Amino acid sequence: MIFLGFTDPEKDAEIVRYCADHVIRKVVLFSPEKYRFPCSFPEHEHIEWSEIIKYVFYYRLLQEIDGATLLVINECLRTQNRHELTYNCLRLFLNQTPHKLIFQYLPIIDTWDDFAILFDLDTQSRWKREKIGADRLGESIIRITQVSLDLHAVPVDAGAKTKAAYAREKTKLLAEVRGDPAKDPHNIPRNLYLMSGKAKLGCIDPGAHYIGRNNRFKLSNLQTYKESSYPRAPYTVFEFCHNFLDFSDFLALSRQTQLDVLVADLKVDQWYFERYMAWSRRLRDAYMTLGRVP
């Protein structure tokens, strides 16, 4: 079974309910550390995402997992590579027991194809080499609490000085990429996006909380995308992260669905805002596809 959008208490309740309905000797929970939650079943073990592939855990689990073991795959959609090594290890564990619960806050990282990873884990990877459409989803029981993301742009005037510096930096970065094909072109928007930061400082409300790429301005009310908890929601987006997975983690940990976003009048700021608007539409479309389960 796949559960989307469930809270930690709801996850634990599903584990308890499942164990009451089946003969379960032990629960093994696989999860990134920041998503670890208390499990009420007496006999349980937590395995951190990064440890799954380590020999000390891998070979022991292959010996211990049996038909009386419940495997809980919690927030393990960590890469878009459907055949990544850690996923392959989980496949082998899942082949040893019919008992599995898969929890994930959002159904995708970036595109619909990401959901196939969750689907593979729930269906013993019988279709791991095929694209997964709505016609195949009936092979899995999927329970959904939908996350409806609402992004609202808050305009910021970058000012003439910043716009001039932005134009110079853009010319420089483009020349560097043209001169060295090995350079990552994604570094151009990543670097340019940081230039509106000083202009956004004038919009900071000391009583509000913000989320940004780094805390280069030493703001006491700003957190970054690499932290393990976000207890001060709601947050305003000072700037987006480039990686959709980091933003997904922020949404899952903060449980925030409506966000104001500081958007300077620079093309890169507008590009990032539209990039995330497009991502939110892909997320909505994924839920629409899941809603067509036969």
280 pLDDT higher than 80: yes
Helix (H) or strand (E) holding 47: strand 44-48
Band of pLDDT at residue 71, cut at 50, 70 and 90:
very high
pLDDT of residue 291: 87
Band of pLDDT at residue 246, cut at 50, 70 and 90:
very high
Task: Report the pLDDT averaged over residues 127-136.
Answer: 89
Helices then strands, each counted (H, E), the chain: 9, 11
**Structure token digits, residue 90:** 């989980």
68 pLDDT higher than 80: yes
Band of pLDDT at residue 128, cut at 50, 70 and 90:
confident
Tens digit of each residue's pLDDT (9 = 90 or more) over 101-120:
999 999 999 999 999 999 99
Mean pLDDT (the chain) is 96
| Domains and their CATH numbers in the chain | 2-144 (3.40.50.10810), 150-290 (no CATH)
pLDDT of residue 12: 98
> How do the residues of the chain divide into helix, strand and coil, expressed in percent and rounded to 5?
45, 20, 40
pLDDT of residue 116: 96
pLDDT of residue 66: 97
Distance between first and last Cα of the chain: 15
Pairing of strands 150-156, 209-212: unpaired
pLDDT of residue 179: 83
Tens digit of each residue's pLDDT (9 = 90 or more) over 165-209:
999 999 999 998 888 887 888 889 999 999 999 999 999 999 999
pLDDT of residue 293: 53
292 pLDDT higher than 80: no
Lowest-pLDDT range of 23-27, 126-130, 174-178, 289-293: 289-293
Tens digit of each residue's pLDDT (9 = 90 or more) over 23-58:
999 999 999 999 999 999 999 999 999 999 999 999
| 103, HSE (Cβ side, Cα atoms, 13 Å) | 23
pLDDT of residue 210: 98
Strand order in the sheet with 150-156: 150-156, 258-264, 235-237, 209-212, 222-224
pLDDT of residue 181: 80
Contact of 145 with 5, CB cutoff 8 Å: yes
pLDDT of residue 185: 85
The DSSP-derived string for 51-75 is GTTSHHHHHHHHHH--TTEEEEEES
